[in-house]
Amino acid sequence: GYGIADLPNIRVCLEKMRRVPASELEAVHAGWLRAQSQASSKEIIVWTARNERLVWRIQTSDPLIWPDGRTVIIQSMFDLTEQKRLEDSLRTSQDEMRVRLAELESLYSSAPLGLGMIDRDLKFVRVNEALAEMNAETKYRESFPTPEA
C-alpha cells in the first residue's frame, strides 16, 4: 500500500497503480480532472476517540469508462479540518471585534470629556461631540469631524 506522502497527486497515483498504460495516462488524467470538476461534493464531520473533530470533503464522480473498458467511480477525500478551524477562529475574532468596536463607539459618543483622534501629521481626524463643543468658538471648528460626519 501507499501512504498519502507517496501519492502527492493523481498523476503519481495513476502511474503507481500501473493499470493505465503510459500512452493513455494523459487522457485518463484529463478525464479524472473533468470528472472531479463535475463531482458531487459532501462535507462530513468525524469525531475521533480523543474527541477531536475532523472535517472532510468527499467528492464522488459519476461512473467513468476507462481506456481498458472498466467502469469506475472516482472518490476523493480532502481534509478540511485546519481550514474549518481557522474559519471558526476568524469568525470568533470578528464577532469579538464587533462587540469591542460597539463598546468603544458607545464610550466615545457618550463620554462627557473631550476625546479626539489625530493622524501622523498631528491633525484631528475625529473628535467626539464634547470636544467639538469645547472648541466651538475657535477657528478650528470645521477641522473637527464629529462621529456623524
The CA radius of gyration of the chain, in Å to the nearest whole number, is 30
pLDDT at residue 68, rounded to an integer = 75
pLDDT at residue 139, rounded to an integer = 46
Q: What is the 3-state secondary structure (H, E, C) of 6-40?
A: HCCCHHHHHHHHCCCCHHHHHHHHHHHHHHHHCCE
pLDDT at residue 84, rounded to an integer = 92
Contact yes or no for 144/116 (Cβ under 8 A):
yes
pLDDT at residue 98, rounded to an integer = 97
* Distance of alpha carbon 144 from alpha carbon 132, whole angstroms: 6
- Helices marked H in 53-147 — which ranges? 81-110, 129-134
Q: What is the pTM of this model?
A: 0.50
* Distance of alpha carbon 59 from alpha carbon 39, whole angstroms: 6
pLDDT at residue 149, rounded to an integer = 46
pLDDT tens track of the chain, all 149 residues? 555 555 556 666 666 666 667 777 777 777 767 766 666 788 888 888 888 888 888 888 777 777 777 787 777 788 889 999 999 999 999 999 999 999 988 988 888 888 888 899 888 888 888 888 887 655 454 555 555 54
